[in-house]
Structure 1
Amino acid sequence: MQIQDNAVASIHYTLTNEAGDTIDSSEGAEPLAYLHGAANIIPGLENALLGKTVGDKLNVQVSPEDGYGEHVAELVQQVPQEMFQGVDQVEIGMEFHAESNTGQPIAVTVTEVKEGMVTIDANHPLAGVTLNFDVEIVEVREATAEEQEHGHAHGAGGHHH
């Protein structure tokens, strides 16, 4: 069976950046199971997997616009350290949840702490990064009606309820 919309594909993968540093990998773990066509994985990888079958191995380079988007400067801002009440020590790399201008929750990462000000970044950590995937397709099957209804794969490597 080929990977197509409403198929569950299970893949082993290693994700690296342009410098060759490993960002993520399924090595030593269950393969990642996803529902094709349901936006469970980034568009650039999903598009590259369309039509592939069990045993296929491929290298996929995904540009930022087909991955986690470009880095948006407006999503980086400085706020007074007093805004972090109840946090003893605000440090680079800490993640917090904030409320956007529209009232939606967003994740922000601390990128700098200096002179009573904290720089926070609401971009995805991989925004602006070209991603390189080494992928092996290990299983392709038809999605169950429940998986299609829920919009994700169930079971090993997928979502557990």
Structure 2
Amino acid sequence: MIDVPVSEGTRVFLNFSVSLEDGSEVDTNFGGEAVDFVVGDGSLLPGFERAMFGMTAGQRQVFTIAPEDAFGQPNDNNVQEIPRSQFDDDIDLQIGLVFSFADASGGELPGMIVSFDDETVSIDFNHPLAGRTILFDVQVHRVEAAELH
């Protein structure tokens, strides 16, 4: 069997972990079943996919993914002021509390309270990992040509 490298048009079976530079783990599936995805299907961020290009079955590697190739840099425009009156009076607002808001397309968008007073609540809609360098530890188990529909 020919070793197929991770590239466009492949299905990759892998275990992974995502950690911050301080070593704190954000997500992992090591110790569980491998997951699979087709390169370019949107399951993984393009920066994570590109890092794996050329890897073959049996390889394990840790990649350092810059914020620009991971979850982006924080954008000041993603911090919104919402009138305090839009929150129920019985909600105990706290900095760091995450709420789910409806976006323009009817989906859900998480936002974290960064400050509040009697008049307004400042909500940060940036991804919680924006601006962070990510350590991506990946173990490739199998790579095969994807069935493209």
User: SS at 1:134's partner residue?
Assistant: strand
Structural mapping, 1:108-147, within 5 Å: 108-112=110-114, 114-116=116-118, 117-144=120-147
> Which runs of at least 4 in structure 1 moved beyond 6 Å after TM superposition?
none
C-alpha root-mean-square deviation of aligned residues, in Å? 2.1
**Separation in 2 of the partners of 1:18 and 1:47?**
20
Are residues 114 and 86 of structure 1, via their aligned partners in 2, closer, same or farther at CA, if it must alter by over 3 Å?
closer
Structural mapping, 1:11-160, within 5 Å: 11-85=14-88, 88-91=91-94, 92-99=96-103, 103-104=104-105, 105=107, 107-112=109-114, 114-116=116-118, 117-144=120-147, 148-149=148-149
- TM-score, normalised via structure 2 length: 0.83
Task: Return the letter of the residue paired with 1:110.
Answer: M
What stretches of structure 2 of length at least 5 have no aligned partner? none
User: SS at 1:118's partner residue?
Assistant: strand
**Separation in 2 of the partners of 1:95 and 1:34?**
30
- TM-score, normalised via structure 1 length: 0.77
What stretches of structure 1 of length at least 5 have no aligned partner? 150-161
Percent identical among aligned pairs is 26
User: SS at 2:49's partner residue?
Assistant: helix
Q: Please report how far the alpha carbon of residue 20 of structure 1 lies from its aligned counterpart in structure 2 after TM superposition.
A: 1.0
